[in-house]
Amino acid sequence: MPEAPKNTQKPTDYSLELKNKKTLQFIEDVTSNADGVQKKVLEEILSRNAHVEYLQRHGLNGHTDRETFKKVMPVITYEDIQLHIDRIANGDTSPILCSKPISEFLTSSGTSGGERKLMPTIEEELGRRSLLYSLLMPVMSQFVPGLDKGKGMYFLFIKSEAKTPSGLVARPVLTSYYKSSHFKDRPYDPYTNYTSPNETILCPDSYQSMYSQMLCGLCQHKEVLRVGAVFASGFIRAIRFLEKHWPLLCKDIRAGTVDAQITDQPVREAVMKILKPDPKLADFIEAECSKDSWQGIITRLWPNTKYVDVIVTGTMSQYIPTLDYYSNGLPLVCTMYASSECYFGVNLKPLCKPSEVSYTLIPTMAYFEFLPVHRNNGVTNSISVPKSLNEKEQQQLVDLVDVKLGQEYELVVTTYAGLYRYRVGDVLRVAGFKNKAPQFNFICRKNVVLSIDSDKTDEVELQHAVKNAVNHLLPFDATLAEYTSYADTTTIPGHYVLYWELSLNGTTPIPPSVFEDCCLTIEESLNSVYRQGRVCDKSIGPLEIKIVEPGTFDKLMDYAISLGASINQYKTPRCVKFAPIVELLNSRAVSSYFSPKCPKWLPGRKQWNMN
């Protein structure tokens, strides 16, 4: 991921070394004094926001100390402040949550009521995000030398944005960052030297953006030292794109032209500055891409690549085998942990195995608290976190330096932009400490059952979608006896699979088109991030329903019980991941149907699109 450096001069080796040293010293300092920094951060947030409506309403009365803050302020979720956020979106500019003006909304991939959550942000937060980015390469350079001697091939994209009724922009955090001067006007730095010109990243058309970034990456193949995207799914999408479009790309490289489908003028101009007719390179790429096996295609086409920089923690771990295959086992590097609410931390041992990745939270980013989490170690391995907390539970939150090794916690943040004791929804486990600052394994996002890309579908959303779909079966006197689901990432892009066991009472056979309608109804009922992934980003494939033989779910129960589940407490898992269970379901599938078209999706919220 890109980072924003501070220097403006083309640095010499010496000044780069000095800058790296300073950055690493900063990490030493803030982690050594983690508690002091956290205390100061909270004081700063609370003193400058002492007069905002939200803090006044809760009676904080200008106090800035931790004790009063923890006693007076509730631990909340998005729904608790949604009315305030709606007021801001509708044009109320009074200091509701934050004393500084809200500059825009960041649209999270976490949803509420089927729509992306809107996170208010302020201008200065861009500086905090840039700071976190600026830590990444000095850390990386400790382990991989010479990264300043070449380029990074990163596939970075912007997404569509909407305007709230009051005219504030609402867009994903990375779109906001790439469009900001922190990224666009970054001074020269060997660590932010990318193969993709800004114009190709900032192109709103995802095909043109991907095509031009790939073309530039191929042209500069020998200079590439590291490759990546934000999430693993995005990088695999880029490889898939290459699989489909290499003949066209080679044609352009051979002739030094840009395909006519690339109509965005600034993109064409930027690419033309890099592209030269190169028949030899075109021959080489053609020869590699037309081989039967694509194993190691990354190291074959970009021979100097030292690592793949993508997030493979959390649900993205499902992509590790595919990435290993394409990269011939290059190190997979997860550098940072961040969200729309706040950027959290960095991985200080970037070359560790994906299963061992831990993120050190940077204490200057926000004020962090931790809610202990208890696992139900049943078959579903579900994590129990109460939706709203009573007073006793609110007292159990611990500070950054007080978390215990091995314990799991839900992350709670208080940010400069006006979130107070806000539950992020991520579950983390303490893996160790850097000085006084804890390092966390990312365990999971609470309640998410299915995820392919940045979509996060929970059990309630799935249940609701299935309920809508089964209405199509009513005329056939058929009902759904049981169902479960699976995120199938063996296809590119991955897709949701639902396993349905039916009770058939009628005699009329159910035509395939009815099941296809069921698929589409489920997709239409899922949240906006899922539908955007299907329609706009094409990062999720058509949803599939597999009808399984009668008795399949009994077999599933028998299997779970044989593994130690209790008969009394057994509940059908609404999502399965364990390979033998998926195999059992697949072996009993009698037919399969796909969604025949994309569901509907529009940028922004439903109510903003009415006029």
Query: Which residues of this protein are in contact with ligand AMP, per CB under 6 A?
Result: 108-110, 173, 311, 313-314, 334, 337-340, 424, 426, 442, 445, 454
CB of 213 to ligand AMP, least distance (A): 21
What count of other Cβ atoms lies within 10 Å of the Cβ of residue 303?
10
Smaller CB distance to ligand AMP: residue 85 or 510?
A: 85
Residues in contact with 486: Cβ distance below 8 Å, sequence separation at least 6, in sequence order: 496, 497, 499, 575, 576, 577, 582, 585
> Which of the 8 DSSP states describes residue 193?
-
Smaller CB distance to ligand AMP: residue 112 or 468?
A: 112
> Which of the 8 DSSP states describes residue 260?
T
CB of 316 to ligand AMP, least distance (A): 6
CB of 2 to ligand AMP, least distance (A): 15
Smaller CB distance to ligand AMP: residue 190 or 314?
A: 314
CB 190 within 8 A of CB 11: yes
CB of 255 to ligand AMP, least distance (A): 40
What one-character-per-residue DSSP string does 75-142 give? PB-HHHHHHHHHHHHTT--S-SS-SSPP-EEEEEEEEETTEEEEEEE-TTHHHHHHHHHHHHHHHHHT
Smaller CB distance to ligand AMP: residue 136 or 297?
A: 136
CB 252 within 8 A of CB 208: no
Q: What amino acid is encoded at 68 in this protein? A: T
CB of 102 to ligand AMP, least distance (A): 17
Smaller CB distance to ligand AMP: residue 189 or 426?
A: 426
CB of 493 to ligand AMP, least distance (A): 18
Encode burial over 245-262: b for 16+ CB neighbours within 10 A, e otherwise: bbeebbebbbeeebbeeb
Smaller CB distance to ligand AMP: residue 119 or 238?
A: 119
Distance in angstroms (rounded) separating the CA atoms of residues 332 and 144: 13
CB of 429 to ligand AMP, least distance (A): 12
* Strands, sheet with 307-311, edge to edge from the N-terminal-most edge strand: 151-155, 224-231, 307-311, 332-333
Smaller CB distance to ligand AMP: residue 175 or 195?
A: 175
Residues in contact with 204: Cβ distance below 8 Å, sequence separation at least 6, in sequence order: 158, 160
Smaller CB distance to ligand AMP: residue 54 or 344?
A: 344
Distance in angstroms (rounded) separating the CA atoms of residues 206 and 596: 22
Among 422, 438, 421, 418, which Cα is nearest to 430's? 438
Measured CA to CA in angstroms, residue 513 lies from 286, 530, 594 at distances of 41, 23, 10
Smaller CB distance to ligand AMP: residue 3 or 199?
A: 3
> Which of the 8 DSSP states describes residue 566?
-
CB of 193 to ligand AMP, least distance (A): 23
Residue with tokens 């002492």: 50
CB of 527 to ligand AMP, least distance (A): 12
